[in-house]
Amino acid sequence: MNSTEDKLKERIKELTCLYDVTSIIVNADYQQLETSLQAIVQCLKKAWLYKDDAEVYLSCSAYEIKTKAYDPSMVSLKSDIKVFNKIEGYIKVGYPKEKYSQSDFLEEEQILLASVSLAVGNLLERKQIRDSEAAVKRQMEHTDRLYILGEITAGIAHELNTPLANILGFAELLKERMVDKQTIKDLEKIMDNAIFSREIVKKLMFFACEMPQEMHSLQVNSNVESVLELLKPSLQEKNIKVNTSFSNDDIQLRADTVQLTQVLFNMIMNAIYYSPVNGAIGLDVKEKKKNIEISISDQGKGIDPENETKVFEPFFTTKPHGEGSGLGLSVVHGIITSHKGTITHKPNTPKGTIFTIDFPKL
């Protein structure tokens, strides 16, 4: 390529390629990014001196795109794709080694490839930023919903406490005066239901962080063992094995003993419910520099993606009617939040769910 006309044609091809790549990126659909990357790969192929023999390969993150006849053994130019200054992949443009050598590439082509790689990196950065913003927005909306629900449930709990106490008190007084056995049985049913309702109110107050806390240093390992002892009948009923692991023998945490017990009881009971017969539950307690991490894993069906943001909302449950109030995980969330901790969940492998609780060392 010696003539001025040929050089001009190549520059036009390169500029056209850059313009097309820029247009693709500006109009990119972040939900279908692979389509945009495929279009960029085709643009690069057309920009090379021997475009009929040029093949392109792009590898980055979850994407792997190549033109039809690409072969790894080709002589090629390569440029790294950087996302937030970290190499996340690369683009290669190659020629068949039977016909071409490295000297057949133009200096301008290496510059063009670097420019396109930079543009692809910028595109992937924008996608990550967009995804992060969307995740933060969802989290804020979720937090707002929980806050509003907390305010509502706190009000409901306070309003129900007095009439429930009256129902229970007057039923007890009537029971003492009655001699008819059937009437006494009926009153006992009233009292049992009032006590059950009072427990639900108590859970609502836990969720709304309205229960007073008695914070003191406690031994996490013995607390875990005590809860497992309480749940032994439920574990034996489904023949479920609990694999416990402690990072050391004396893990100390400043917390409310009753509330920590309730958190562990609810989480392990939840894992038992969703675990299959003869399954296994993992319970790992790790002491780190600034926090205590408790992980509880099961081998159940896992959480449906549609329900991932709902699991900590009060009254939400996937259990059949009559088997759950939908307050267990919301109570756990309220207690952990009041301890300035966090709770998250992720899929277990090969199936099930892992809940991870982080308590700060206060």
pLDDT, residue 222, reads 92
Strands in 86-95's sheet, in edge-to-edge order, are: 63-66, 55-60, 86-95, 75-83
Residue 120's closest CA among 93, 94, 83, 70? 83
pLDDT band at 79 (very low <50, low <70, confident <90, very high): very high
Answer yes or no: are the C-beta atoms of 238 and 275 closer than 8 Å: yes
Q: Indicate whether this model's pTM tops 0.85.
A: no
Evaluate if residue 318 carries a pLDDT over 70. no
H helices within the chain, ranges in order?
4-26, 33-47, 107-177, 181-207, 220-230, 232-237, 257-274, 328-338
Query: For position 181, what pLDDT does the model report?
Result: 85
Condensed to tens digits (0 to 9), the pLDDT of residues 149-181 reads: 666 666 676 677 778 888 888 888 888 888 888
Q: Is residue 95 helix, strand or coil?
A: strand
DSSP structural state of residue 92:
E
Kindly write down the DSSP assignment for every residue of 284-304, as one continuous string: EEEE-SSEEEEEEE--SS---
Residues sharing a CB contact under 8 Å with residue 216, sequence separation 6 or more, in sequence order: 254, 255, 257
Q: What angle do CA 217, 219, 222 make, to 5 degrees?
A: 150
Higher pLDDT pick, 270 / 200 = 270
Domain 4-134 sits in CATH at 3.30.450.40
The phi and psi torsions of 309 (rounded to 5 degrees) equal -90, 0
CATH dotted code for 215-360:
3.30.565.10
At residue 189 the predicted structure's pLDDT band, cuts being 50, 70 and 90, is confident
CA distance linking residue 274 with residue 307, whole number of Å: 15
pLDDT tens sequence across 322-361: 555 555 687 788 888 888 899 999 999 888 999 999 999 8
Q: What is the structure's pLDDT at 357?
A: 95
Rounded Cα gap, residues 227 and 262, in angstroms:
9
